[in-house]
Structure 1
Amino acid sequence: MADPPTLYDHDFFAWTQDQAAALRRAQRDRIDAPLDWEHLADELEQLGGLIKDSIRCDLAAVIEHLLKLEHSPDTGSWTKWRASVRKARRHLNDKIASHPSLLSYPQIILTDAWLDGCDDALQDDCMVEAALP
């Protein structure tokens, strides 16, 4: 019989944060092991942070390409932008499904992702800032 899924299997982000906290507790409780406790904890947290960064990038990509679809005169790229939106949405859904503790994270970073998406859309030669909402 297979072992039940662990937090590591179910929500890697939550596991990284939990393990970082456990390392800090172990250091505070003076568990005697030749480990660089603080840096290990920092690295675990940063590893979890990469997942959050990836979610923000995918959300910004969705916003960028939706803005281009709505406001760019370059209709020749619409197929590519639609495909990009579908792909980024799929990635977002997969990441949230894999890391359920981050379910509310897109709402938390929506304003920042919006600004990133607008900035990225404006890098396109056809986009004009006045055209964006």
Structure 2
Amino acid sequence: MSKLNIYDKDFYQWTIEQAKAIDERNLNSLDWENLKEEIEALGRSEYNAVVSLLLKEIEHLLKIDYVPIPECRNKWKAEAAAFKKNIARKITPSMKPKLESQFEGIFQDAAEVVAIEYEIELPQECPYNLEDLLD
């Protein structure tokens, strides 16, 4: 079975064989094209996880600040704190410039979700600072 067939038919086996080839420094046995794709996908996945957590943190802060349901505020505060802690565990320095460039869109997505959920008007511009959300 060729490397490509193993990758396509039995991904788990492919990972075992690739790890073994790396361990043995057997460069000729490495499936370079698929390794590259998998590494890139892993990076995208990690970045998207941080974006998702940031989106949820912003949603909860918007609920705290703009939704008039006081009995939910403590729950929303706890959830926002949990999202922030998870961001701190996952974020890397190289993610910050991309987050900065996409921050307005992330805020707009979060605001849209909260506005639909609670049928309220929210600010057009983000009232939160990205650095504060990440720290």
Q: TM-score, normalised by structure 2?
A: 0.63
After superposition, the C-alpha distances for 1:28-78 in whole angstroms (9 at most, x for unaligned) are: xxxx72443222211110101111001101111111111111111222211
Whole-Å Cα distance in 2 between the matches of residues 89 and 44 of structure 1? 26
Counterpart of 2:68 in structure 1 is 73
Aligned to 1:122: 115
**Hey, what does 2:130 align to over in structure 1?**
none
Q: Is the 8 A contact 1:72 1:127 kept in 2?
A: no
Q: Equivalents in 1 of 2:57, 2:70: separation in Å?
A: 17
The structure with more helix, counted as a fraction of residues: 2
Q: Establish whether residue 108 from structure 1 lines up as the match of residue 101 from structure 2.
A: yes
Q: Which has the higher contact order (CA 8 A, sep 6+)?
A: 1
Aligned to 2:57: 62
Structure 2 residues not aligned, in runs of 5+: 1-26, 124-135
1:41 corresponds to which of 36, 43, 56:
36
What's the Cα RMSD here? 2.1
Structure 1 gap segments, 5+ residues each: 1-31
Give every structure 1 segment of 4 or more consecutive aligned residues whose post-TM-superposition deviation is greater than 6 Å: none
> How many pairs were matched up?
98
